[in-house]
Amino acid sequence: MADLFGDGGGAPSERPRPSATAVDDRNDRSRPLADRLRPRQLGEVVGQEHLTGEGGVLSRMLEATSLGSMIFWGPPGTGKTTVARLLAHEVDYAFEQISAIFSGVADLKKMFETARLRRSNGRRTLLFVDEIHRFNRAQQDSFLPVMEDGTVVLVGATTENPSFELNAALLSRARVLTFKPHGSASLVKLLERAEATEGMALPLNEQARAVLLRMADGDGRAALTLAEEVWRASRKGEIFDAAGLQEIVQRRAPVYDKGQDGHYNLISALHKSVRGSDPDAALYWLCRMLDAGENPLYLGRRLVRMASEDIGLADPRALGIALAAKDAFDYLGSPEGELALAEATVYLASAPKSNAVYTAYKAAMRAAKEHGSLLPPKHILNAPTALMRDEGYGSGYAYDHDAPDAFSGQDYFPDEMDRQQFYRPTDRGAEIPIGDRLQNWAKLRRNRDRRG
């Protein structure tokens, strides 16, 4: 399907440029609705007003009648391909399109030669590269010379974070522009355009219409495709409710790639909701990930991490509950096991928070790396042989259980290292009495040092 509000649908090179004055073929029902509604000019693009609206980045570029290389970053169906075509038309650049999925070095070289020839005849080329993140680092480097000498203006489209997927040299020569998922308002505009083009309203009641917008998941092309399916399925006078809509379109799966940005964004939202003591938001993100097909055991492992990192000794039971939830899912499987994950999520989000152990661990690890291989003090070393006893191993060790309050106050750090305090308990939850004990022991240790 040709791409109206997003990416995909590799079009042949030198396809006729869109024009506001082109013959209106929107009633050609042999073509998909999304293709028929492709904007003819930049002002028709919806949902990306921060780029295409008055004062937007792209609008300013067009005012200067000069384009620089760009990377369009955003989810599917947000208009990356369409905007690239319209930009080429606005400045009268030849538009070439390739897809990193189907193209290799030979295709790139051929494209560059064509662009050089065209430039020698006085016309520039806008090269649109779909899925540019799928090119490897060496292939990405091949764009650098033609970008630098002006052979092409590169517009790359990617659904993945450019910081991770594109090399630094390419990013330094191109401006990254972020395309936002469509909100409800812009999806409503697209559906209204579709209804105007088709000359009839969607046969959906108000609730079903709202469900369709949610199913589109911010993807304009998906919204139009769903609308087209509804019109195909409807009979004269029939109006679908929400259940009927879900039956005829079989519900579009949520946009979520378990190995890419969607995965990391959602697990970050879950973790920060737990840390922020918001059980309702935490449950929502947990369910979003489960609904999208995330491995529940992965979520269980992350809950264990949250219990250690963000709750710690403020509630020592949290770690046990998180581990029990993971084991419960492992034992029960789906769908029964998900309830244990939900229980752990609510418990962790509702528990008192402390990262004192997490902070202490990092500080102790830094100290371990900085101080090298210092030996323990001899008085806490075992002396199983006579030679070791003669060397002073174990000499002067005080057995804490024989001391008052079972606390000897001896120093256990290496002789060459000053005493450190890594763990500083908070005044929350179960760390309150821990802090009190540590303060009392510190006082006893100071008294012992003064006496010693």
pLDDT tens readout for residues 86-129: 999 999 999 999 998 888 888 888 999 999 999 999 899 999 99
Cβ atoms of 190 and 220 closer than 8 Å: yes
With pLDDT > 90 as the criterion, what percentage of the chain qualifies?
Answer: 51
CATH no., domain 184-249: 1.10.8
CATH (one of 3.40.1010.10, 1.20.272.10, 3.40.50.300, 3.90.1150.10) for 261-350? 1.20.272.10
For CATH 1.10.8, list the domain ranges present in the chain. 184-249
Helices (H) and strands (E) in the chain, counts: 21, 5
Distance CA 211, CA 209 (A): 5
Give the pLDDT of residue 346.
Answer: 96
Give per-residue burial for 97-122: e unless 16+ CB within 10 Å, then b.
bbbbeebeeeebeebbebbeebbeee
Provide the pLDDT for residue 66. 78
Is 3.40.50.2300 the CATH classification of the domain at 33-178? Answer: no
CATH 1.20.272.10 in the chain: give the residue spans: 261-350
pLDDT in tens, 330-353: 899 888 899 999 999 999 999 999
- Report which secondary-structure segment, H or E, holds 146: helix 143-148
**Following DSSP, what letter does each residue of 368-436 receive, concatenated?**
HHHH-SPPPPGGGS---SHHHHHTTTTTT---GGGSGGG------S-TTS---------SSTTHHHHHH
Confidence of residue 391 (pLDDT cuts 50, 70, 90): confident
Residue 381 pLDDT > 70: yes
pLDDT of residue 214: 85
The reported pLDDT for the residue numbered 258 is 56
Domain 372-451: give its CATH code.
1.10.3710.10
The mean-pLDDT minimum among 276-285, 322-331, 384-393 falls in 384-393
Domain with CATH 1.10.3710.10 in the chain: 372-451
Interval 262-306: pLDDT, tens: 778 899 999 999 999 999 999 999 999 998 878 899 999 999 999
* Per-residue confidence band for 24, with pLDDT thresholds at 50, 70 and 90: low
Dmax (CA) for the chain in angstroms is: 101
Give the pLDDT mean for 244-265.
71
**pLDDT tens digit sequence for 138-167:** 889 999 999 998 899 999 999 888 988 899
pLDDT of residue 118: 93
Q: Would you place residue 362 in the very low, low, confident or very high pLDDT band (cuts 50, 70, 90)?
A: very high
Residues 119, 78: Cα–Cα separation, whole Å? 31
Is the pLDDT confidence value at 248 over 90? no
Average pLDDT, the chain: 87
| pLDDT on residue 106 | 85
- Considering only residues 29 and 423, tell me which one the structure prediction assigns the higher pLDDT: 423
The DSSP 8-state label assigned to residue 274 in this structure reads H
pLDDT greater than 70 at residue 226? yes
Q: What are the phi and psi torsion angles at 127 (to 5°)?
A: -100, 115
Tokens 């993971």 — which residue?
A: 326
Residue 385: phi, psi to the nearest 5? -120, 160
